[in-house]
Amino acid sequence: MSASRRPAAIERQVIHSKFSKVVRKGRWVASRHTALSAWFGALIIDLSDAVLPGREISIHADAMFSKVIVRVPENAQVVDEGSSLFGKRNVTAGSTGDGPLIRVLGTSRFSKVIVTRGKDDWNLH
């Protein structure tokens, strides 16, 4: 793809889910800083086919009484810098690949935050 046909880098985007389920998957342009906000719902973000804007991106996931699932590319290195209160965080660490560095931040309260690499996990299809 030529430089003129490449999508412009998106510095920041916000994805909300309130009392509902929001799924973002397939070929889409991710941002360098993504804020995920789920309140009494589910938020499923699949980065495996997304166009990533650089070698490092951050995902700030805040959830209350919700489920947040992020699927990362197989070769991604993941760093979990978030916290949980009466919830569950299941963030697998890095890989030995040369893929992007993905930082997962934020707080989950009475919620689940899960970062996975599996294709069939968590009804992503």
- Consecutive 10-residue runs of the chain (125 residues): their mean pLDDT? 53 93 92 95 93 91 95 90 93 75 94 83 49
The per-residue pLDDT for 2 is 44
Q: Taking the model in full, what pTM does it have? A: 0.83
Contact predicate 95/88, CB 8 Å? no
Burial 22-31 (b: 16+ CB within 10 A, else e): bebeeeeebb
Residue 106 CB burial class (10 angstroms; 0-12, 13-18, ≥19): buried
